């Protein structure tokens, strides 16, 4: 609301900034300074300025919220024809992150910011397809991803404990 009263469209902010995208989904989100740094590094991937990125933070510092719960949907907003493989140490995390990203893309906030649409009938928790030909596959490390295309690979929490 404050941004719109200042003449700034929240949709444009959310399109260009992962933190703004996350705040649009959860107005109670209060990012720390280092979250802005993480989001800026992830934005470099979207902008084509970075091909490889490793982020190390202690547990419970919000890394997975940005990297695993928001970035895949945000990335698909910019590149709906691209393919994402999202790996975690457990199938439970893969399912959780897949559900969160799928639901974000389906939601009214994402739809107000991006044109990405999910392909009907291909909207599972750990695997979905976009109408532009892209896709998402979330998998625990014990599962196989061989033969699946990937333009973006995310590996979050590969080792338990």
Cα three-residue angle 113-156-64, rounded to 5 degrees: 50
- Residue 126 lies inside a defined structural domain of this protein: yes
Inside any domain, residue 13: yes
Hey, how many other C-beta atoms are within 10 angstroms of the C-beta on 49? 9
- Answer yes or no: are the C-beta atoms of 68 and 154 closer than 8 Å: yes
pLDDT tens for the chain, 161 residues long, are 445 556 679 999 999 999 999 999 999 999 999 999 999 999 999 999 999 999 888 777 878 899 999 999 999 999 999 999 999 888 888 899 999 999 999 999 999 999 999 999 998 888 999 999 999 999 988 777 887 889 999 998 777 66
Task: State the pLDDT at residue 161.
Answer: 62
Q: Quote the DSSP letter at residue 93.
A: H
How far apart are the C-alpha atoms of 114 and 57, rounded to whole Å? 30
Per-residue pLDDT at 64 = 87
Residue 137 lies in a domain: yes
Q: Do residues 117 and 128 touch, judged by C-beta distance below 8 A?
A: no
Whose CA is closest to 25, among 77, 61, 84, 81? Answer: 77
Whole-structure pTM value: 0.91
C-beta separation of 93 from 157 below 8 A: yes
Which two tokens mark 147?
A: 């033969």
Strand order in the sheet with 127-130: 118-123, 127-130, 135-140, 83-88, 152-156
Residue 54 in any domain: the answer is: yes
The answer to whether position 75 is within a domain reads: yes
In-domain check, residue 123:
yes
Task: Give the total number of structural domains in the chain.
Answer: 1
Domain that residue 52 falls in: 2-156
Does residue 161 sit within a domain? Answer: no
- Is 37 among the domain residues? yes
């Amino acid at each position: 609301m404050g941004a719109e009263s200042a003449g700034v469209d929240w949709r444009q902010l959310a399109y260009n900034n992962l933190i703004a995208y996350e705040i649009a989904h959860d107005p109670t989100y209060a990012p720390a300074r280092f979250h802005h740094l993480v989001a800026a590094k992830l934005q470099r991937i979207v902008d084509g300025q970075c091909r490889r990125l490793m982020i190390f933070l202690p547990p419970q510092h919000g890394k997975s919220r940005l990297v695993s719960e928001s970035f895949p949907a945000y990335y698909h907003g910019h590149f709906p024809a691209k393919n994402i493989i999202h790996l975690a140490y457990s199938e439970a995390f893969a399912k959780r992150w897949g559900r969160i990203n799928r639901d974000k893309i389906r939601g009214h906030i994402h739809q107000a910011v991006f044109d990405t649409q999910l392909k009907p009938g291909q909207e599972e928790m750990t695997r979905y397809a976009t109408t532009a030909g892209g896709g998402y596959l979330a998998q625990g490390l014990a599962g196989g991803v061989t033969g699946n295309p990937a333009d973006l690979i995310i590996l979050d929490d590969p080792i338990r404990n």
